[in-house]
C-alpha cells in the first residue's frame, strides 16, 4: 500500500474557496467537442469531470487530483461544477482512497469525511491506477443513494477512468518519445566528437554537427585558458583568425556565461533565470546575431569551456533545445578536455602534471598526500646526512696458503684410487697406486739381459779380447742403469701426500685403468692450518680497494660466524667473467676455525671508509649515467 506524502496536505489546502455559483451548464454536445479537442491535461480532465458529473445524477461537486506516481503531492487539475467551487471537504475521502489504493464510499455518517458539508451527502473516491502505480484520484460528492445505485456510480467511474488512463499513457509515451529523441541527438553529437582522433577535428565536428542539428547560423567552441576563454573552432569556418572583432565578441560572451556559471539565453525570456547579458547584447548588436545561447562545458568552476549558438531573430531557442545542449555539453566536456590534453606537447603535459601535483600539495585538502610528502622528505634528509661504512661486496673463495700439485711420475695406468677431494691426509699417506706390471716385466727383461751380458763379458776376458770386453762392459752398465730407473719407477707407483693437508681436487675413483701421462696433475693438496682469502672485485669498485683495508667474510656453511681478514695484495690482472671484468684481491685471515676448509665460498665485504647513505645506494647508477652521458656527448 502506497503511503501518502505530507505534501498531499498542501495540495488539498490549495483547493479553490467558495465562489459564486456556476451558471447554466453548457449543452452536452459542446462538452463532448471540448473533450475531444482538449490539448492539455487540465482541459482534458476539466471536460472529463464535467461529462462524468452530468452523466451521473445527483452529483453536487467533483474533483480530479493528479501528481507524480506513488509519490505526490497530488494537486487539483479539475473541479466541477466550477473551478472556483469550494471542494476542500472532499480532501479526506481523496486522501483515504490514495492511502488504501481502492475505491471508497464515505457515507454521510462519517464525520471526518463530511465535515464542513453541512448536509446529507456521500463522497465517492476512485483511485487512478495505471501500470500498478497510483497517478491520482477522482472524488464525487453525491446525494444519498442506495447500494445498487452506488454500484452503478462506481461502475461508471471505473469505465470513465479509462479515458484518464489513456491520457496518462499518451503523456508517458510522448515523454518517452521526446526523451528518446533527445538521447538520439545527444548520441549523434557524441559520435561526432569521438570519431575524430585529434582535438581540433573533434571540435570542428561538434560545432558543425550542432549547427546543422539545431539550424544555427553559427556555433562556436571556446576553451578556458588563463583568465579568459579562447575561441578555437567556429562552424563552417576553417580559418577564422582574421575575424578578430567577431572572435573577441564571442569569447566575451563565453566569459560572461562561465563567470556566472549558468546558461545564458539572449534575448532572455520573461520567466527565465535572471542573468547578465551585456556581452551577448553587444554580440547581437554588432554582428547581427538575433538569438544567442551560451552553454558552459562542465559544471560551475570546473567548466573547461563554452558553446555559443547563434540563430536568426525569428528562431528563438526553445527550453527543450537548451536542455538538449546542456545534456550534450555535460557529456562532451570531459571527452574534449581529454583530447585537448592528449594533443599537447609532452613537455606541457609534464609541466601540467607537476603543477597539478604542486597545487594539491600546497592547496587545501589532500592531507594524506601532504603527510606522505613530509615523510618522504624526512627520509631523504636522513639518507643525505646519515653516514655509514661504505663496504665493497665481492664473492670470495678460501684457499690454502700452500698448495701442492701431485703429478704422474711416468706414463702408466691407474690401479687404485685411495682418496677423494675433501679427504684429510697425512704426510707420506698414499693417494693412489699406479699399475706396476709393465715395469716388473721390463725389470725382468733387463735382469736377463744383464746376466747374458755378464756371461759374454767373462768369456771375452778369458779369450783376452779386450775390445770386446769393454763393449760388453758398457752394455752391462746400460742394463744396470735401466734396472736402477725401473726400481725408481716401481718405488713411485705409490703416489703419496707431500705434507699434512686436505685433498682439494683429483677424484680418480671413476678412472681406474685409465692411462695417465708423465706430468699430468692427479691431485691438489693444500695445507690445513694456513689459509688465504681470494676476492673477485668488480672493476667498478677496484679503485676503492687499498692494501691493509680490514674486511669481513661470511660463509654459507657458517652463517652465524663472521671471519675478519686484511687485504694483502691486489693483482693488476683482470679476469673476464659473465661479461664483466674482475680483479683478484688476496687477503689474510685473522681468525681460524676447525670447520674452515679450503675451497669454501662465501661473500666478503671490504671496508673502505664512511660515506653518506644516499651515495652508497645510488653511486653505481650515478656512475653509469655519467659514463653513458660522457660517451654520448660529442
What are the boundaries of each domain within the chain? 7-175, 196-343, 352-385, 436-492, 530-632
Rounded to an integer, the average pLDDT of 145-166 is 77
pLDDT confidence band for 198 (50 / 70 / 90): confident
What confidence tens digit (pLDDT) does each residue in 551-583 have? 988 888 888 888 899 998 888 888 888 888 899
Domain 7-175 has CATH 3.30.450.40: yes
- Comparison of pLDDT for 484 and 108, the residue scoring more: 484
Buried b (16+ CB within 10 A) or exposed e, 562-577: ebebebeebeeebeee
Q: Give yes or no for a cis peptide into 481 (omega within 30° of 0).
A: no
Percent of the chain, pLDDT > 90?
Answer: 3
Q: Given this model, what pLDDT does residue 180 score? A: 74
- Comparison of pLDDT for 294 and 171, the residue scoring more: 294
Q: Model's pTM, two decimal places?
A: 0.46
Nearest one of 304, 296, 299 to 339, comparing CA atoms: 304
- Locate 150 and state its grid cell: 452506488
78, β-bridge pairs:
64
Sort 332 into a burial class: Cβ within 10 Å, 0-12 / 13-18 / 19+.
buried
Distance from C-alpha of 81 to C-alpha of 62, rounded to nearest angstrom = 7
- Locate 556 and state its grid cell: 654459507
May I ask the CATH class of domain 530-632?
A: mainly beta
What confidence tens digit (pLDDT) does each residue in 503-556 have? 888 888 888 888 888 888 888 888 777 778 888 998 888 888 899 888 988 888
Which CATH fold would you assign to the domain 196-343?
Answer: Beta-Lactamase (3.30.450)
What confidence tens digit (pLDDT) does each residue in 590-620 have? 887 777 777 788 999 999 989 888 888 888 8
The residue assigned the cell 655519467 is 626
- Locate 505 and state its grid cell: 681436487
Q: Given this model, what pLDDT does residue 243 score? A: 59
Nearest one of 190, 326, 179, 336 to 264, comparing CA atoms: 326
Q: Given this model, what pLDDT does residue 621 score? A: 92
Work out whether strand 424-425 and strand 133-143 pair parallel, antiparallel, or are unpaired.
unpaired
Distance from C-alpha of 74 to C-alpha of 66, rounded to nearest angstrom = 5
Q: Given this model, what pLDDT does residue 603 score? A: 92
Fold agreement between 7-175 and 196-343: yes
Q: Given this model, what pLDDT does residue 364 score? A: 82
What are the residues whose beta carbons fall under 8 Å from the beta carbon of 16, sequence distance 6 or more? Answer: 76, 79, 83, 84, 85, 86, 87
Nearest one of 258, 203, 201 to 229, comparing CA atoms: 258
Residue 322: other Cβ atoms inside 10 A:
16
What are the residues whose beta carbons fall under 8 Å from the beta carbon of 43, sequence distance 6 or more? Answer: 34
Q: What are phi and psi of 314, to 5 degrees?
A: -90, 5
What confidence tens digit (pLDDT) does each residue in 327-382 have? 888 888 888 888 888 877 888 778 888 888 888 778 788 788 888 888 988 988 88
Is the pLDDT score of 297 beyond 80? yes
Distance from C-alpha of 100 to C-alpha of 95, rounded to nearest angstrom = 9
pLDDT confidence band for 238 (50 / 70 / 90): low
Nearest one of 548, 551, 568 to 395, comparing CA atoms: 551
- Locate 488 and state its grid cell: 725408481
What are the residues whose beta carbons fall under 8 Å from the beta carbon of 512, sequence distance 6 or more? Answer: 414, 415, 416, 417
Amino acid at each position: 500500500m502506497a503511503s501518502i506524502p505530507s505534501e498531499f496536505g498542501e495540495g488539498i489546502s490549495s483547493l479553490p474557496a467558495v465562489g459564486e455559483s456556476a451558471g447554466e451548464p453548457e449543452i452536452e454536445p459542446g462538452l463532448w467537442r471540448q473533450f475531444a479537442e482538449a490539448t492539455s491535461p487540465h482541459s482534458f480532465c476539466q471536460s472529463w469531470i464535467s461529462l462524468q458529473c452530468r452523466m451521473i445524477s445527483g452529483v453536487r461537486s467533483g474533483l480530479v487530483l493528479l501528481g507524480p506516481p506513488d509519490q505526490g503531492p497530488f494537486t487539483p487539475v479539475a473541479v466541477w461544477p466550477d473551478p472556483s467551487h469550494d471542494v476542500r471537504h472532499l480532501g479526506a475521502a481523496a486522501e483515504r482512497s490514495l492511502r488504501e489504493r481502492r475505491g471508497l464510499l464515505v457515507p454521510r455518517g462519517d464525520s471526518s469525511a463530511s465535515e464542513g458539508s453541512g448536509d446529507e451527502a456521500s463522497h465517492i473516491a476512485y483511485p487512478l491506477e495505471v501500470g500498478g502505480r497510483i497517478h491520482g484520484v477522482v472524488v464525487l460528492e453525491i446525494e444519498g443513494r442506495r447500494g445498487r445505485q452506488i454500484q452503478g456510480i462506481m461502475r461508471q467511474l471505473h469505465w470513465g477512468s479509462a479515458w484518464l488512463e489513456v491520457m496518462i499513457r499518451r503523456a508517458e509515451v510522448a515523454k518517452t518519445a521526446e526523451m528518446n529523441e533527445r538521447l538520439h541527438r545527444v548520441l549523434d553529437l557524441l559520435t561526432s566528437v569521438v570519431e575524430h582522433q585529434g582535438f581540433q577535428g573533434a571540435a570542428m565536428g561538434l560545432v558543425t554537427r550542432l549547427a546543422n542539428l539545431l539550424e544555427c547560423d553559427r556555433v562556436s567552441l571556446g576553451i578556458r585558458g588563463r583568465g579568459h576563454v579562447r575561441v578555437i573552432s567556429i562552424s563552417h569556418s576553417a580559418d577564422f583568425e582574421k575575424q578578430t572583432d567577431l572572435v573577441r565578441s564571442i569569447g566575451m560572451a563565453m566569459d560572461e556565461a562561465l563567470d556566472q556559471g549558468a546558461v545564458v539565453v539572449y534575448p532572455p525570456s520573461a520567466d527565465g533565470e535572471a542573468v547578465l547579458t551585456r556581452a551577448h547584447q553587444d554580440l547581437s548588436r554588432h554582428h547581427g546575431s538575433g538569438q544567442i545561447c551560451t552553454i558552459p562545458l562542465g559544471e560551475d568552476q570546473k567548466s573547461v569551456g563554452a558553446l555559443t549558438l547563434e540563430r536568426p531573430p525569428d528562431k528563438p531557442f526553445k527550453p527543450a533545445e537548451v536542455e538538449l545542449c546542456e545534456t550534450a555539453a555535460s557529456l562532451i566536456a570531459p571527452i574534449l578536455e581529454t583530447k585537448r590534453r592528449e594533443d599537447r606537447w609532452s613537455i606541457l603535459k609534464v609541466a601540467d602534471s607537476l603543477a597539478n601535483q604542486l597545487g594539491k600539495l600546497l592547496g587545501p585538502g589532500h592531507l594524506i598526500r601532504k603527510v606522505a610528502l613530509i615523510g618522504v622528505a624526512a627520509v631523504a634528509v636522513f639518507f643525505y646526512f646519515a653516514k655509514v661504512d661504505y663496504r665493497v661486496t665481492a664473492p670470495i673463495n678460501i684457499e690454502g696458503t700452500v698448495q701442492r700439485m701431485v703429478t704422474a711420475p711416468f706414463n702408466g695406468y691407474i690401479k687404485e684410487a685411495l682418496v677423494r677431494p675433501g679427504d684429510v691426509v697425512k704426510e707420506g699417506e698414499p693417494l693412489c697406486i699406479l699399475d706396476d706390471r709393465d715395469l716388473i716385466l721390463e725389470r725382468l727383461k733387463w735382469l736377463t739381459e744383464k746376466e747374458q751380458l755378464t756371461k759374454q763379458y767373462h768369456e771375452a776376458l778369458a779369450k783376452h779380447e779386450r775390445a770386446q770386453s769393454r763393449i760388453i762392459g758398457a752394455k752391462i752398465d746400460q742394463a744396470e742403469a735401466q734396472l736402477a730407473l725401473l726400481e725408481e719407477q716401481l718405488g713411485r707407483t705409490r703416489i703419496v701426500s707431500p705434507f699434512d693437508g686436505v685433498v682439494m681436487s683429483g677424484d680418480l675413483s671413476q678412472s681406474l685403468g685409465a692411462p695417465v701421462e708423465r706430468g699430468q696433475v692427479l691431485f691438489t693438496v693444500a695445507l690445513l692450518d694456513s689459509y688465504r682469502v681470494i676476492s673477485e672485485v668488480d672493476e667498478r669498485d677496484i679503485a676503492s680497494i687499498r692494501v691493509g683495508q680490514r674486511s669481513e667474510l661470511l660463509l654459507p656453511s657458517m652463517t652465524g660466524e663472521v671471519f675478519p681478514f686484511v687485504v694483502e695484495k691486489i693483482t693488476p690482472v683482470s679476469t673476464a667473467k659473465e661479461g664483466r671484468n674482475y680483479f683478484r684481491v688476496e687477503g689474510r685471515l685473522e681468525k681460524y676455525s676447525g670447520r674452515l676448509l679450503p675451497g669454501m665460498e662465501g661473500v666478503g665485504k671490504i671496508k673502505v671508509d664512511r660515506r653518506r647513505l644516499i651515495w652508497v645506494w645510488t653511486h653505481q647508477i650515478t656512475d653509469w649515467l655519467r659514463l653513458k652521458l660522457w660517451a654520448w656527448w660529442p
